[in-house]
Amino acid sequence: MEVTVIGCWGAYPKQNEATSGYLVEHGGTKILLDCGSGVLSHLQNHCSLEELDAVVITHIHADHIADLYSLEFAILILTQIGKRTSPLDVYLYCENPDKLAFCFPDYVYVHPIVIGETVSIGTVKLDFSENVHDVPCCAVRLTSEEGRTLVYSGDTGYCQSIIDIANSADVLLIESSFYNWQKGKMEGHLTSGEAGEIAASAGAGQLVLTHFPHYGELEEMIKEASRHYDGPITLASCDMKITI
Ligand SMILES: [Zn+2]
Ligand SMILES: [Zn+2]
């Protein structure tokens, strides 16, 4: 299984980059995790929109969903001109998917994510758990046919459920929205130290921090996480590839 970081910024994209978006590939299966601002453009550096099998949206905050509506138009047009032959499956976690602004139900199939129900997309199985965030939000565990695992946190505050779903994951890709000095000031997100604690408690094989703030020295986040977790820690970056 290979993961490509399409975007790694929280809230809004840095110049020429994107907010949350991660392309997961296994065999011929191509899955996009979150589709934030700037993701649709950058995604095409790594995957043609004709080939994308499915999108998984952890929650409906703009930095995770903003480009999904443009992607819907792309699927419509690519289908009309004969370049794409199948609808796009969108798995989405929110209170009421019917209230979202999708226009073309024949081209984009929306599937509500249900915690506890496993989803199969091509050769990858996906399981979900509920996070602590100010809107409904889920974490995703992806398991390849070979049993290799990626856990992507979405947005979350510190909670037992993210530790549980990340149990023994080969790679934990987890939000790190704040520095340790901000601990307790913002709910529904993690500090880098908390991300390290979760990786240690879960026994994750590798920690990748993401969903960054636009201030401070991001390298500090590695130091803060490493006080709790002694495995390999890296900062996500645009176009970075992780083989699992
Ligand atoms: Zn976010
Ligand atoms: Zn959010």
Count CB neighbours of 93 within 10 A: 25
Distance 184 CA to ligand 2 centre (A): 17
Q: How many folded domains does the chain comprise?
A: 1
The yes-or-no verdict on residue 103 having pLDDT over 90 is no
pLDDT > 90 in the chain, percent: 95
Residue span of the structural domain in which 215 resides = 2-243
Ligand 2 centre distance from Cα of residue 136 (Å):
9
Rg (CA), the chain: 17
158-194, pLDDT tens digit by residue? 999 999 999 999 999 999 999 999 998 889 999 999 9
Interval between CA 189 and ligand 2 midpoint (Å): 8
Ligand nearest to the CA of 137: 2
Does the pTM exceed 0.85?
Answer: yes
Ligand nearest to the CA of 64: 1
Q: What is the CATH number of the domain that holds 214?
A: 3.60.15.10
Q: Which residues are within 8 A (CB) of 176 and not within 5 positions of it... i.e. 6 or more apart?
A: 190, 191, 192, 195, 209, 210, 211, 212, 221, 225
Res. 99 pLDDT band, cuts 50 70 90: confident
What are the distances in angstroms from CA 4 to CA 49, 181, 217, 240?
15, 30, 23, 6
Instruction: Return the pLDDT at 91.
Output: 97
> How many whole angstroms from 62 Cα to the centroid of ligand 2?
8
